[in-house]
Amino acid sequence: MTQVVATTPGLFPLPDWAKDELSRLKGHQKSDLVSGEEGPEIVDAYDRAREEVVGVQTDAGLDRVTEGQLRWDDMIAHPLAVADSVETRGIVRYYNNNNFYREPVVTGDLEASGDVAGELDAAAEHVDAGLQAVLPGPYSLADLATDEHYGDEAAFLDAVADFLADEADQFPDVETLFLLEPSLVENAPGEGADERASEAIDTVASAVDADVVAHTYWGALDEKVYAHLMDAAVDAIGFDLVADHEQNIYNVQEYGTKDDVALGLVDGQNTFVETPETIRERVEWFVEQTDGDYDTVYATANTELFYLPQNKFEAKIEALADAAAIEEVEA
User: What pLDDT sits at residue 36?
Assistant: 76
User: What pLDDT sits at residue 33?
Assistant: 72
DSSP 243-296: T-HHHHHHHHHHH---SEEEEEEE-TT--PPPPHHHHHHHHHHHHHHHT---SE
Backbone angles phi, psi at 280, to 5 degrees: -65, -40
User: What pLDDT sits at residue 37?
Assistant: 77
- Give the residue with greater pLDDT, 203 vs 96: 203
Answer yes or no: is pLDDT of 109 > 70. yes
**pLDDT tens-digit profile of 297-330?**
999 999 999 999 999 999 999 999 999 999 755 5
Q: What is the pTM of this model?
A: 0.96
Tell me the average pLDDT across 120-148.
Answer: 97
User: What pLDDT sits at residue 29?
Assistant: 61
Tell me the average pLDDT across 79-96.
Answer: 95
* Cα separation, 247 vs 223, whole angstroms: 9
Average pLDDT value for the chain: 95
Answer yes or no: is pLDDT of 17 > 80. yes
- Give the residue with greater pLDDT, 33 vs 61: 61
The alpha helices in 111-244, defined as continuous H runs, are: 115-124, 138-144, 153-169, 183-186, 193-205, 223-229
Answer yes or no: is pLDDT of 162 > 70. yes
**pLDDT tens-digit profile of 38-55?**
889 999 999 999 999 999
